[in-house]
Amino acid sequence: MEVPGYRIRDELARDTHYVVCRGETHDAVPVLLKLPLSPSPHPAAIASLRREHELMTALDLDGVPRPRAFEPQGALVLEDIGATSLRAVLRPGPAALDDFLWIAPELARTLGELHRRRLIHKNVSPESVLVEPKSRRVQVFDFSLASRLPQETQAASPPQLLPGRLGYMSPEQTGRMNRVVDYRTDLYSLGALLYEMLTGRPPYHSDDPLELVHAHMAKAAPAPAELGSGVPEVLSEIVMKLLSKTPEGRYQSAWGLRADLERCAREWTAKGAIARFPPGEQDVPEAFTIPQHLYGREAEIRVLLEAFERACTGRAALLLVAGYSGIGKTSLVNEVHKPIVRLKGRFVSGKFDQLERSTPYAALLQALRGLVRQVLAESEPRIAALRERLALALGPNASVVAAVIPELELLLGPQPPAPSCPRPKPRTASTTCSRASFPSSHGRSIHSWCSSTTCSGRTPRRRSFSRACSPTQRCATSS
Ligand SMILES: Nc1ncnc2c1ncn2[C@@H]1O[C@H](COP(=O)(O)OP(=O)(O)O)[C@@H](O)[C@H]1O
Ligand SMILES: [Mg+2]
- The three-point CA angle 374-155-51 to 5° equals 110
Q: How far is CA 357 from the centre of its chain?
A: 33
Ligand at shortest distance from the CA of 351: 2
**Which residues span the domain enclosing 410?**
298-415+426-475
Percent of the chain surpassing pLDDT 70: 87
Q: What is the pTM of this model?
A: 0.84
In this structure, are 112 and 227 located in the same domain? yes
Tell whether ligand 1 has an atom less than 6 A from the beta carbon of residue 92: no
**Could you read off the pLDDT of 241-264 as tens digits, one per residue?**
999 999 999 999 999 999 999 999
Question: Which residues crowd ion ligand 2, with CB under 5 Å?
Answer: 330
* Residue 159 belongs to domain with CATH number: 1.10.510.10
Ligand 1 atom nearest residue 294's Cα: 3
Q: Whose CA is nearest to atom 5 of ligand 1?
A: 294
Residue 277 in domain? no
Residue 457's pLDDT is 34
In this structure, are 92 and 37 located in the same domain? no
In this structure, are 243 and 132 located in the same domain? yes
Ligand 1 atom nearest residue 334's Cα: 17
Tell whether ligand 1 has an atom less than 6 A from the beta carbon of residue 295: yes
Tell whether ligand 1 has an atom less than 6 A from the beta carbon of residue 296: yes
In this structure, are 157 and 259 located in the same domain? yes
Q: Where among 79, 105, 129 does a domain terminate? A: 79
* Residue 50 belongs to domain with CATH number: 3.30.200.20
Residue 355's pLDDT is 83
Residue 282 in domain? no
Q: Whose CA is nearest to atom 8 of ligand 1?
A: 328
In this structure, are 234 and 346 located in the same domain? no
Residue 365 in domain? yes
Enumerate long-range contacts of 373-380, CB under 8 Å, 24 or more apart: 373/407, 374/158, 374/346, 374/348, 375/411, 375/441, 376/407, 376/410, 376/411, 377/158, 377/160, 377/161, 378/158, 378/160
Residue 206 in domain? yes
In this structure, are 178 and 314 located in the same domain? no
In this structure, are 336 and 225 located in the same domain? no
User: How far away, in angstroms, is 454 Cα from ligand 2 center?
Assistant: 9
Name residues of the chain where pLDDT drops below 50. Answer: 432-443, 453-479
Residue 460's pLDDT is 37
Q: Whose CA is nearest to atom 2 of ligand 1?
A: 294
Closest CA relative to residue 187, chosen from 132, 277, 293, 114 = 114
In this structure, are 259 and 304 located in the same domain? no
In this structure, are 151 and 92 located in the same domain? yes
In this structure, are 340 and 237 located in the same domain? no
In this structure, are 248 and 302 located in the same domain? no
Residues 6+ away with beta carbon under 8 Å from 302? none
Number of separate domains in the chain: 3
